[in-house]
Structure 1
């Protein structure tokens, strides 16, 4: 797990701080962005091992990130993306998964479930 870099994307600074601390305690290096444009730029520059993004944000949300990153098959298209959302609409989940997200978790999600999803994405799940 050591050395894995996760890009956390959320417009709520408190959520970014909370997730950053949780992931750092679990041994991950954390990069952050507060909107889709920052996230796409960070992903291209830093090539994180995984992206954890909110679905709904001003200036482009999770769908924008999925569309823009998954379109680039040679650079960022293979980065696993886990989407967090407060929306319980089945269409949102279906669209996120069809757009390339490997998992959608509803907020608030259990920390252990989130960490297990990340481990699974890295092939470390049990």
Structure 2
């Protein structure tokens, strides 16, 4: 089976490296972008199954990326998880209204982030499938 592909859009090189390693360890394929403009181009080219998006980006912010994604039919249905250092009080609601499926403040708690990724991708573990039957 082909691994699910996740696009990480963040200008923090250390976060990209750490999150990429974590996701690859969990069996995902990872592509990255470090600014708002290239994020759309990388999403078009790589057709990710999920996008993890920072709000504070060079060349436009994450809200611009969310807006552009929703305007493009081939990208509009890709789930987006926002991962940001910005104040969560106004930004979580705004992110969700813009189409994000989850919001995490940096640094994210590993288990919660992975659970959100699994949920956004429609993945279930044997244990969760057992518990819901």
TM-score (norm 2): 0.89
Cα deviations across residues 31-58 of structure 1 (Å, max 9, x unaligned)?
0000111110011111100000111112
2:35 is matched with 35
Inter-partner Cα distance in structure 2 for 1:58 and 1:122:
27
Q: In angstroms, what is the RMSD of aligned CA positions?
A: 1.3
Inter-partner Cα distance in structure 2 for 1:39 and 1:104:
18
Change (3 A) 1:26 1:2: farther
Q: Specify every segment of 5 or more residues in structure 2 that has no aligned partner in the other structure, as ranges.
A: 129-133
Q: How does 1:50-65 map to 2 (within 5 A)?
A: 50-65=50-65
Cα deviations across residues 80-122 of structure 1 (Å, max 9, x unaligned)?
0000011224221111101010000111111111111000011
Inter-partner Cα distance in structure 2 for 1:60 and 1:20:
23
1:115 is matched with 114
Q: Specify every segment of 5 or more residues in structure 1 that has no aligned partner in the other structure, as ranges.
A: none
Matched residue count: 125
Inter-partner Cα distance in structure 1 for 2:45 and 2:85:
29
Structure 1 runs (4+) greater than 6 angstroms displaced: none
2:15 is matched with 15
1:97 is matched with 96
TM-score (norm 1): 0.93
Q: Which entry has the higher C-alpha Rg, 1 or 2?
A: 2
Note if 1:47 corresponds to 2:20: no
Inter-partner Cα distance in structure 1 for 2:115 and 2:57:
25
Note if 1:75 corresponds to 2:74: yes
